[in-house]
Amino acid sequence: MGGMTLRKILLHPDPRLKAKADPIGSVDTELRALADDMLETMYDAPGIGLAAPQIGILQRMLVMDCVKDENASPEPMVLINPEIIGQSDELNVYDEGCLSIPDQYAEVERPAVVKVKWTGLDGKEVQEEFDGLWATCVQHEIDHLNGKLFIDHLKPLKRQMITRKMQKLKRELAREAKNG
Ligand code: NI
C-alpha cells in the first residue's frame, strides 16, 4: 500500500468524457501506479467500475470489481487496451448507473455474454468471457474508452433529462465550492 491517491471523478457533461481514449503503448511503473489510484478511487466512491477518462486520463485502461457480497473476497481487475472480440446474441437488461452521472439510473440492454481481450498489468495478453453483472460492467467501461456514456444508449428525451439534472448538480457544486 502507500502512495495511492484518490483521483477526482469527472462529472457529465465534460468534453473529456466524450473523447476517444488513446491505446497504451507499454506497461510501466507509472501505469501500475495509475491502476492502483483508479482501484482506490473506485472502491472509495464506491463503484464497481472506473475507466481512465473518468479521471481525465485519455488512455485505454479500466478497472472493475463486480463482487457485490461484502463478505466475499474482492476481485480487482485491471484491463489495458480491452477489446470485445465476441458477444452473445442473447441480451440482458440492467439498471445502470455511472460514477460520472451520480444518482441517475436507467435500463440499458447489452449482450448478455462478451468475450474480451486485453493486456494485463504484467504486460501479457489475456482473454476471458464475462457474463452477468461483469458483462454489463465491462461493456459500460469499454464504452467510456470510446467517449460513450450509458445515457447514450437511451432515447434522446431521457438522455436530455438526465443531462439537464447533471448540469444543475454541477452548478450547485460549483456554487458550494465558491462559498466554501
Ligand atoms: Ni460509467
Q: What is the pLDDT of residue 173?
A: 95
Instruction: Please name the amino acid found at residue 45.
Output: A
Confidence class for position 122, pLDDT limits 50, 70, 90 = very high
Can you tell me whether residue 54 is helix, strand or coil? helix
Active site residue 141: yes
pLDDT at 1 over 70: no
CB-CB contact of 100 with 10 (8 Å): yes
Q: What is the pLDDT of residue 2?
A: 55
CA gap 60, 40 in Å, rounded: 18
Q: How far is the CA of 140 from the centre of ligand 1 (A)?
A: 6
Instruction: Please name the amino acid found at residue 96.
Output: E
Q: How far is the CA of 151 from the centre of ligand 1 (A)?
A: 10
CA gap 34, 7 in Å, rounded: 10
Which residue, chain included where needed, has cell 504484467? Answer: 122
CA gap 32, 57 in Å, rounded: 14
Q: Is the dihedral of CA 130, 153, 37, 68 positive or negative?
A: negative
**pLDDT tens figures, 128-177:** 999 999 999 999 999 999 999 999 999 999 999 999 999 999 999 999 99
Q: How far is the CA of 25 from the centre of ligand 1 (A)?
A: 24
**pLDDT tens figures, 7-58:** 999 999 999 999 999 999 999 999 999 999 999 999 999 999 999 999 999 9
Q: How far is the CA of 15 from the centre of ligand 1 (A)?
A: 15
Q: What is the pTM of this model?
A: 0.96
Set 96, 141, 172, 176: catalytic member: 141
Report residues near ion ligand 1: CB below 5 Å: 98
